Structure 1
Amino acid sequence: MMALEKRAVGIVHEFLSLTVEKMVEVEKISQFRKWFDIDLNIRDLFLDHPGMFYLSTKGKRHTVFLREAYERGCLIDPNPVYDARRKLLDLVVLGRRGLFTNDSKLRDTGSSKEDGFKGRKMDEVLAGQRPAIH
C-alpha cells in the first residue's frame, strides 16, 4: 500500500507542477484518477501529505495547492501565462473602479500608442503600471 501511495503522490505532484498556477480544484484532478490509475481517495491523499499539498476549502469548492511553489501566498516562479492573466485582471479591476468614464472612449491613434486610458501609453497599461490618483 505504501508503494501505491508514494506513486500516487508523485503523479499528483508532477501534475500540479505542470499547471500554470500550481493549483487545481480537487474535483478536476479526481477526474484523472482512472487515467492515472490511482485507486486511492484523492482528498485523503492531500490530507495525508500536508508538507507537499495545501487543501483549501472555500464554501463548497476544494482547491489543492502545491506548497513548494508558493511563498507567503505568491507564486515563487510565476509562468508568463500567469503574469499575463494577472495583468489582464488588474486592467479589469481598474476599469470597474471607475478609471474610465463614459465620455472617455477607446480610440486607435496609430503611432502614438495612446489608448484612451486618461493619457496613459499602451506600454504603461500592458506593463501593469497604475496611474497616480489625484
Structure 2
Amino acid sequence: MESLQAPGVGIAFVLGLILVLGNFTAILSIRLAVLGRIAPDTMAGIRTNATRATPDSWDAAHRAAWPWALVLNGLAAIGGVAVMATGSTVTPFLTAAGFAVIFTIAGALAQIIVGHRAATRVLNRK
C-alpha cells in the first residue's frame, strides 16, 4: 500500500456524501411506505410484482423490510461519514469505503428479498 495515494479531502467528501444521501434516501423511502405516504403506483419503494399486487402485500413488504433498511443502510450511512473523515489516509479510507459499499448493497438486497417474501406470503394466504 506504499504506492497508493489518499484520494484527498474533496473526493472523500463527495463520495461520503453520495453514500450518506443514498442510504438516507433508502431508509426514508421504506419508512414513508410503512407510513402509507408512498403508494405502489409511485416510483419509490420495493418494486416487485408481488409487492405491487395488493395494498396488503405492499404494506407487508415494507414493514418486513423496515428493520433491515434501518440497520444495514444506517450502518452504510455511518460508513459514508467515515469516508468523509478519512480522505487524507489510504487504508482507513479504503476500509470505510468498502464497509459503506458492502452495507449499501446488503441493505438493498435484504430489502428486496425480505420484502418480496413477505408480500408473497400475504398473496398466498388469499
TM-score category by the smaller chain?
under 0.3
Higher helix share: 2
Higher strand share: 1
Q: Which has the higher contact order (CA 8 A, sep 6+)?
A: 2
Greater Cα radius of gyration, structure 1 or 2: 1
Q: TM-score, normalised by structure 1?
A: 0.24
Q: TM-score, normalised by structure 2?
A: 0.25
